[in-house]
Amino acid sequence: MTFPSCDREDLIEAIDRVEEQLHTSHPNLALMCRFLNSIARSLRAQPEARDCCLAIEDAIGKAGMPSTWQSGI
């Protein structure tokens, strides 16, 4: 997959933020879902990332949070 450098940096930051939350004793679910939606939104233009986007959507749905990454398509 290829991304412009600014998008790549934003994507890495979002992944890091989700990982930080996963390692806390009480993760902030809303914050994690916001970053997961952001990750999926960054990946959605990449056909090879479709399964990843759907896995993210599934996780967000199981958490009972809104999936917004497809908005504006």
pLDDT tens per residue, range 3-61? 666 678 888 898 999 999 999 999 999 999 999 999 999 888 889 999 999 999 999 99
Helical spans, DSSP H, in 1-73:
5-22, 29-43, 50-62
73 lies in some domain: no
Structural domain span for residue 32: 5-62
Q: What total number of domains does the chain contain?
A: 1
9 lies in some domain: yes
- What pLDDT is attached to residue 19? 94
25 lies in some domain: yes
pTM of the model: 0.82
Q: What are phi and psi of 26, to 5 degrees?
A: -135, 85
67 lies in some domain: no
70 lies in some domain: no
17 lies in some domain: yes
Orientation of helix 50-62 relative to helix 29-43, angle to 10°? 160
